[in-house]
Amino acid sequence: MEMTGMRLLALEDEYLIGLDLERIAEECGARSIQLTATIGELQNLISGNAEYDIAILEVQARGASSLAAAAELQRRGTPIVFTTAYDHEANGVAGFPDVPVVPKPYGKSQIVRAVASALAKSGRSPASRRDGASGEFV
């Protein structure tokens, strides 16, 4: 499944991996991607009124957990994909049994499969997303 027209929120604290994630999203047709590097930035975006079709979150960014932010996004109905460099989290994240986890390093196919899985589990698809937010790659 591609990401055509989707609005992505991403947490990635490693600059080059973040650039690669932006490239993947762009190649897959995403409408926009809001990339953050810290939990604080992520929480500021979540507290705003912007809506996202999916969030791709690193489990630990700069030593801080993204799980509280992930729970808030799920409460709002936003499907989640986790990424992690830690082997013990690659088989699942405690408290998030249905959330796909993509171990690092990853490539386009792993991200696309995880996004498709998260959307299928949530019952959402790019075609059923809410319209209204526009954006550019940032």
Task: Give 59-113 pLDDT, tens digit per residue.
Answer: 999 999 999 999 999 999 999 999 999 887 778 899 999 999 999 999 999 999 9
C-alpha–C-alpha distance, residues 9 and 66, integer Å: 13
Task: Give 16-74 pLDDT, tens digit per residue.
Answer: 999 999 999 999 999 999 999 999 999 999 999 889 999 999 999 999 999 999 999 99
pTM, two decimal places? 0.88
Q: Where would I find the beta strands (DSSP E) of 12-87?
A: 32-36, 54-58, 60-61, 64-65, 80-84
**Structure token pair of residue 19:** 């650039």
Looking at residue 130, the DSSP 8-state letter turns out to be P
Q: Checking DSSP bridges between strand 7-11 and strand 54-58, what pairing results, if any?
A: parallel
